[in-house]
Amino acid sequence: MGVPIRRTWILVWIAGVVNPCPQPNEEAVKAFYLDRVSIVATYNNEVRSPSVTMEIPSVVCLRSYHKHSLKSIPAFTRFNVFLRDNFRCQYCGKRQKATDLTFDHVVPKKDGGKCNWSNIVSACIKCNGRKGSRMIKNIPDMALLKTPTVPTMHELQFESRKFPPKYLHESWRDYLYWDTPMEQE
């Protein structure tokens, strides 16, 4: 489509998800023409009007945010957790590709640790394996880089700007997997 992918793309709207058989999504097309979204991926079929023919957007990112969306709580998704943590293992601090990162329960499940913003951190495979289902205080030479908290949209947007153009796009090939909200406890 020749549409530049903005570097600040946190919120992604997957058009047509509700209906598994993609229909021309008027809202996505309209939003594109109003310059509110960039198109990341399209379906193979086209939508036609007397003057315009375009492929139907399947994934779009918002170009800007209204004030209230910046203040709202971001969806608890894999992508947003990694973004909050700057794609760094929260134990050794190394930056990893999304596919090489895992999620660690800071307080292990067996000790009542929940799956939510305050207890889930990004961890590399090595650190996750080393920590296992122990409390961090019981492991010598291992500490959290920072206490996990619920980020604001503004913070996620700030984090996303640290990445080179297209980095996040390429590390995030399976949009549905990465942007599906995880079940919080």
* Residues that bind Zn ion in the complex, under the rule CB under 5 A: 89, 91-92, 124, 127
- Minimum CB distance to Zn ion, residue 139 (Å): 13
Contacts of 47 (CB under 8 A, 6+ apart): 24, 29, 53, 54, 55, 56
Taking the least distance from each CB to Zn ion, the nearer of 55 and 100 is 100
* Tokens found for residue 52: 């315009």
Positive or negative, the Cα torsion across 100, 167, 157, 15? negative
Q: With respect to Zn ion, which residue has the nearer C-beta, 24 or 108?
A: 108
- The closest alpha carbon to 95, from 105, 87, 83, 107, belongs to 87
Nearer to Zn ion, 129 or 181 (CB): 129
Tokens 């023409």, residue located? 33
Q: Choose among 65, 13, 24: nearest CA to 180.
A: 13
Closer to Zn ion by Cβ: residue 32 or 91: 91
Residue where the block lists tokens 């019981």: 138
Cα dihedral sign, 74-77-81-82: negative
Nearest residue (CB) to Zn ion, 126 versus 154 = 126
Distance of closest approach, residue 160 Cβ to Zn ion, in angstroms: 22
Taking the complex as a whole, the smallest distance from the CB of residue 78 to Zn ion amounts, in Å, to 17
119: its two tokens: 């207890």
Structure tokens at 151: 């980020």
CB of 126 to Zn ion, least distance (A): 6
CB of 90 to Zn ion, least distance (A): 8
